[in-house]
Amino acid sequence: MLVKTLVILLALIALAVPIAASLGWLGLILQYTESSMPLHRAISDMAWQTSTDFLLIAIPMFVMLGEILLRAGITERMYDGIVKWLGWLPGGLMHSNIGSSALFAATSGSSVATAATIGTVAIPQIEKRGYNEPLFLGTIAAGGTLGILIPPSINLILYGLLTETSVPELYLAGFIPGFLLAILFMITVIVVCVVKPEWGGERLNYSWSERFRALPSLIPPIGIFVVVVGSIYAGIATPTEAASLGVVAAMGLAAANGKLTISMLRQAIEGTMRTTAMIMLIIIAAVFLNFVLSVIGLTQALADFVTGLGWSPMQTMIMIVVILILVGCFMETLSMLLTTAPLITPIVVALGFDPVWFGILLMVLLETALITPPIGINLYVVQGIRDRGEIMDVMKGASPFVLTMFAMIAFLLLFPELALWLPSLFY
């Protein structure tokens, strides 16, 4: 049954059926072939219950937060400020791509939004500064993945909802791995540019006075981060309320910059509605599919299969990681999260692993899926912004960072305290 399910899903994806429709059709096909119960009658109730969950209101709020920051010009000034601090390193602006992605990820909660925003600002610099184009594009695609892991993260909210895991604990757990991964990306750039100096482009050196004058441009995104995450841990707001506070703060910054106009708000709201509609349709289809899988017994069959192998917990976890890496090559990350988390998390917990730790490990695996062909979404986002050349250039440039993510996965497996230390201090 498991093989049949995977074959049908991959066939639908190969036929270029939109992912929400693929998940919905898979649920209907399994219902009619594996069950005599009219499970499709539950779709309307599931759609209502899922879309009215208070926690999910955070999704459009975080999407709108990123839209406002982009249209208010705050992101461009933030990028210029980070250039002055990191541009002297081997690889120059490529470090600024990663640093800006990490900082923007700490406000937007979305990997695609992070890659699109930083790419829009950075890509025009490639020819101007003489960088190796594939590697430069790879830093944007890889840096964008940090939006999944560094709080506040939309995917961590969904994981918490699906597995009944504390979102504040997940946010705390994501801090150290998220910023460590950003540092590992930068180390990767340095290593590549030391081996291939001609790929490093122009280094930009600024005086200390210029660097300090650039610091005010970094204050707005840091301020947004403090408002959103700080309000959660101060006990002032829930994650959903914190996201709303972030939107209010972003609108205040836009007003201070003279960018808060009716036209700008209309564009931000339209972008938010399109993205939110896509996400919610995928969520509803995935919830229905998970319901069907549970009713036909696939969830329990998978658990029985894993436990029946007789492997040690770590051997089993390594097998799960390998499977998820392979699945990530063929599935969009949101649908991958929504379909695998409810199936695999109970197995992982039964093996004795912490669900908070596994949530962070799963986020890194989802990040890997964002830049692994053939369906790495960030690869196509960056290529779309570039709007010339071949997608293969972006894939080549992202490949060193896939290896870096494998190293991060190994670190989490060997040192779970990377994710669990901060939560243990507060919970």
Let me know: does 302 contact 343? Beta carbons within 8 Å.
yes
| 3 contacts: CB under 8 Å, gap ≥ 6 | none
What is the structure's pLDDT at 365? 94
Which one is predicted more confidently, 271 or 1?
271
Let me know: does 342 contact 290? Beta carbons within 8 Å.
yes
| Residue range 88-97: mean pLDDT, rounded | 88
- The confidence band for 419, taking pLDDT boundaries of 50, 70 and 90, is very high
Phi then psi for residue 196, to 5 deg, are: -125, 80
Residues 287-322 as b/e (b if ≥16 CB within 10 A, e otherwise) read bbbbbbbebbebbeebeeebeeeeeeeeebbeebbe
| Residue range 172-181: mean pLDDT, rounded | 93
The structure's pTM equals 0.82
Write the pLDDT tens digit of every residue in 331-343. Answer: 778 778 887 888 8
Q: Between the ranges 35-49, 120-134, 136-150, 375-389, where is the mean pLDDT highest? A: 136-150
- The confidence band for 314, taking pLDDT boundaries of 50, 70 and 90, is very high
| Residue range 4-21: mean pLDDT, rounded | 72
- The confidence band for 79, taking pLDDT boundaries of 50, 70 and 90, is confident
If one counts every other C-beta atom within 10 angstroms of the C-beta of residue 34, the result is: 18
Contacts 24+ apart (CB under 8 A), 325-328: 325/365, 325/368, 325/369, 325/372, 327/369, 328/365, 328/366, 328/368, 328/369, 328/372
The mean of the pLDDT values for the chain is 84
| 128 contacts: CB under 8 Å, gap ≥ 6 | none
If one counts every other C-beta atom within 10 angstroms of the C-beta of residue 252, the result is: 16
Which one is predicted more confidently, 233 or 366?
366
**Structural tokens at position 13:** 């994806």
- Cα-based torsion angle of the residue sequence 167, 171, 173, 176 in order, rounded to the nearest 10 degrees: 170
